[in-house]
């Protein structure tokens, strides 16, 4: 949790440092991102902010997310079929990847130390200094696989 609060402070400082106003919408987006456990769409983020009583438009949420992405503070994940998800990139904090079901849309976050080692070994072998990476596994979740085989 401490890493999330640190991320929120960094995000506000980055936006203010770039001459952008850290207005109410941007502050609300940063607070919402800092409280989420995994990725969300811009519409879901806007809905949760509005459910908390703030009046914020989806366009403002998109602008805030793109500003944070440009600063390297938000990861943009292409979920397929035009869907885009966002989550904070917490420096020195948790790091996970995702598996997405192409049948039901279920998103499953996962961590794998062996995969991380393999990615860093590959980057070294390529002579590439890796700043970041992400893995998205597309396919069918266990429930959808069972449904297909039972059907």
Lowest mean pLDDT segment, chosen from 12-26, 39-53, 124-138: 12-26
- With tokens 């390529």, the residue in question is 126
For residues 102 and 92, is the Cβ–Cβ distance under 8 A?
A: no
Sign of the C-alpha dihedral computed for residues 56, 57, 58 and 60 taken in this order: negative
**Per the structure block, which two tokens stand in for 86?**
């966002």
For residues 45 and 86, is the Cβ–Cβ distance under 8 A?
A: yes
What integer is the mean pLDDT of 107-130?
Answer: 92
The more confident residue out of 28 and 134 is: 28
Domains of the chain: 1-92 (1.10.10.10), 95-151 (3.30.1490.190)
pLDDT of residue 92: 63
Bridge pairing between strands 97-101 and 136-139? parallel
Mean pLDDT of the chain: 86
**Which among 104, 95, 108 is positioned nearest to 136, based on CA atoms?**
108
Report how far residue 89's alpha carbon sits from residue 92's, in angstroms, rounded to the nearest whole number: 9
């Amino acid at each position: 949790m401490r890493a999330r609060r640190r991320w929120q402070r960094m995000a506000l400082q980055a936006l203010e440092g770039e001459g952008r106003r850290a207005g109410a919408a941007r502050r609300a987006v940063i607070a919402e991102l800092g409280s989420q456990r995994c990725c969300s769409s811009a519409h879901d983020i806007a809905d949760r902010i509005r459910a908390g009583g703030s009046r914020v438009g989806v366009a403002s949420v998109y602008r805030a997310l793109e500003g944070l992405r440009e600063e390297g503070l938000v990861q943009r994940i292409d979920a397929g079929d035009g869907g885009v998800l966002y989550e904070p990139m917490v420096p020195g904090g948790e790091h996970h990847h995702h598996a997405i079901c192409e049948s039901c849309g279920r998103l499953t976050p996962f961590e794998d130390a062996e995969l991380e080692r393999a990615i860093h070994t590959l980057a070294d072998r390529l002579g590439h200094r890796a700043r970041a990476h992400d893995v998205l596994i597309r396919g069918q979740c266990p429930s959808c696989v069972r449904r297909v085989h039972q059907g």
